Amino acid sequence: MADKRRKPIVDPRAAEKRRSLLIKIGAAVVLVALAVGIGVWVLVSHESATGSSSNVTVATDNAYRITTAPKGTTPPVTVTVVEDFQCPACRAFETQFAGAMDQIRNNPKVAVDYMPIAFLDRMSTTNYSSRSANASACVAQSTAGDGNFDTWLKFHNALYAQQPEEGGPGLTNDELNSIAKQVGATNLKQCIGDGQFSGFVKDTTQKALNSGVNATPTIKINGQPVQLSTPDALIAAVNEAANK
């Protein structure tokens, strides 16, 4: 008996239409994926250029940590220095307490956390507090990848040695870059000029304000503000905390 079942007849025109439709759908998916990818790239590039998402990879809780403690250990004492490179009182502290801070930094039981903030932008015509703090971050990022902040500390000290008068424009970006090169950093003209770490500076400033900081310099021992009197008194307070 003949087989009554028949193979379905394939309409070549319908098949071609389906194939064409699938090609169009595939192309559309690729275009959408490309558009999304380009959009994400533009967003990330924009955030990086404006500094809104930039972070200093060598910072510890937004601070530059200097310690002689053995690697892999956590010192029992943290001395936090919240400062503003435009602040005359901060310069006075650096001058008067320089020897004491050297001794404290060399104590293996102590970590010194420096937090430059933009507290006094209103005291210059060019937001010098923000610009100098950003330059500081540029130096830290480029020179302290291994956790050695010697070059950063030289830059820190040089900024106070050349601190501009309040009410003026402050040091120019080119001058900040020149100081950075003088202390051993590479050319940071773009990082400084573009404000690459402006977002980081704003975040650090807000963290300091949220923690109760209302003046610079503010010195803390294990998170508790210290009333500054004499260098010897600061050393004694740090030693007392270290020996508890």
pLDDT digits (tens, 9 = 90+) for 12-55: 344 444 444 444 434 433 333 333 332 323 222 223 333 333 68
Q: Which amino acid is at 212?
A: G
Q: How far is CA 113 from CA 118, 189, 213, 220, in A?
A: 16, 26, 15, 10
Q: Which amino acid is at 148?
A: N
- Which stretches of the chain drop beneath a pLDDT of 70? 1-54
pLDDT, position 54: 64
Yes or no: say if 111 and 67 are a contact pair by the CB < 8 Å rule.
yes
Q: State whether residue 194 is helix, strand or coil.
A: coil
pLDDT, position 244: 83
pLDDT, position 124: 95
pLDDT, position 55: 83
| CA–CA dist 39, 48 (Å, integer) | 14
The fold of 61-242 is Glutaredoxin (3.40.30)
Nearest to 212 by CA among 80, 24, 38, 93: 80
For CA atoms 56, 205, 66, 95, the dihedral sign is positive
pLDDT, position 232: 98
| CA–CA dist 66, 37 (Å, integer) | 41
